[in-house]
Structure 1
């Protein structure tokens, strides 16, 4: 059984994944552990909850890896956890993971965005900073914006709280832009928007689908340690 934890990053994931894969909502603490106990052979982590709910625990990922479960991460919470756990065998996928792993991104707020609940399809209500960066990089590459404009808009996006970060808000607070140019850039941000999180999630899905539906050999370099905190969290173990 392959399991994919995803929400706002990849709408329509269930249809794309097909019946052979279990597509579940954004992961919270305990979800990866539960998937392993249910027999998961491979797990894809894209989205995860945070702020008001305990997020995916690194120890759960190590538990999965120690039993030969292949764990892939990309785009959002998955990219962050992959950068933190790749030395233990977690597989990071996509450019956002690579930026976390290289230190190009250090703040988990860069991947955060506000979205509607699952009942409304996790519709995005704000834009994540990583997508803004990818959009600006494309505009700069073909000289649709100048380096000064790139810096001004990216700074505006970075200082805007993730729950307020919309394209309108970013364009409105960017410093040093003339009124006419501000409107032009706002239009470019919309028409040339790059959803890097979705692109990375699509790459993860393809790699997850290509894996054999069986567990691999457990790692030989390290052994999972069931600490007292782990035992308290999962007393049924």
Structure 2
């Protein structure tokens, strides 16, 4: 079984997934439970972080120690892959690479405000990684200058992730006339880059090519069952008993 945790980054994942089981953004315990259900390949794109406990590094190590192929990209998955790639987690895409190489350090660069699953994970803000990718594309096409791109990127970074939209960014851009502002807006309609989506699609493509088996390769490290780990396992075992499901 292959399982992908995804939400607002790729709202149409279900139509692209084939035989891959698509679940919502991962929170703490979800990867552990997927391993217990027999998953051989697990992909993480989106994950909860603000009002729920995020995916725990320990459960990622548990999955890897059980022979599960674990991949991450685009959002929470890129963060965890950059943090755990030395243990065998596979990162996919530009955003992962930027975190792995130290070109990005702030987790909020991938954060995004969005609606619920019932509304198709409607995007309500612009993640900084998409802003940066778009500005790079605009510079390459000579739509904006390097100095304009630097100013726009700095403005975007200064805005809280829930409030960051292209409108809010451009409203704070001083020193240009309305004609110039309108030309940038027009360019954004046609040239905006959704790097998170592109990386998520790339991860889905990699997952589709992987064998649905757990390899038996020997690891160079050993998973340690700590007290906190045992408490988490106990908690999620209780939650999965009949009568405790929500």
State the match for 1:14 in structure 2: 14
Separation of aligned partners in 2, 1:133 and 1:61: 29
* Higher alpha-carbon deviation: 211-220 or 36-45: 211-220
- Cα distance change on mapping 1:116 and 1:150 into 2, 3 Å: same
Instruction: Tell me the SS of whatever aligns to 1:4.
Output: strand
State the match for 1:135 in structure 2: 134
Supply the RMSD in Å over aligned alpha carbons.
Answer: 1.2
Q: Does 1:27 align with 2:26?
A: yes
- Asked if structure 2 preserves the Cα contact closer than 8 Å seen for 1:156 and 1:175, the reply is no
CA displacement, residues 155-210 of structure 1 (integer Å, 9 cap, x when unaligned): 11111111111111111112333332122212222321100100000000010010
- Asked if structure 1 preserves the Cα contact closer than 8 Å seen for 2:65 and 2:219, the reply is no
State the match for 1:211 in structure 2: 210
Q: Structure 2 regions of 5+ residues with no counterpart? A: 239-246
Separation of aligned partners in 2, 1:123 and 1:217: 41
Provide the aligned length of Structure 1 versus Structure 2: 236
How far apart are residue 218 of structure 1 and its match? Answer: 4.5
Separation of aligned partners in 2, 1:219 and 1:30: 25
Alignment of 1:85-124 (within 5 A): 85-124=84-123
Alignment of 1:54-203 (within 5 A): 54-203=53-202
Instruction: Tell me the SS of whatever aligns to 1:43.
Output: strand
Q: After the TM superposition, which parts of structure 1 deviate over 3 Å for at least 4 consecutive aligned residues?
A: none
Q: Structure 1 regions of 5+ residues with no counterpart? A: none
Separation of aligned partners in 2, 1:212 and 1:72: 13
Separation of aligned partners in 2, 1:226 and 1:71: 19
Separation of aligned partners in 1, 2:80 and 2:197: 17
Instruction: Tell me the SS of whatever aligns to 2:186.
Output: helix
Separation of aligned partners in 2, 1:175 and 1:207: 43
Give the TM-score of the pair, scaled to structure 1. Answer: 0.97
- Asked if structure 1 preserves the Cα contact closer than 8 Å seen for 2:6 and 2:26, the reply is yes
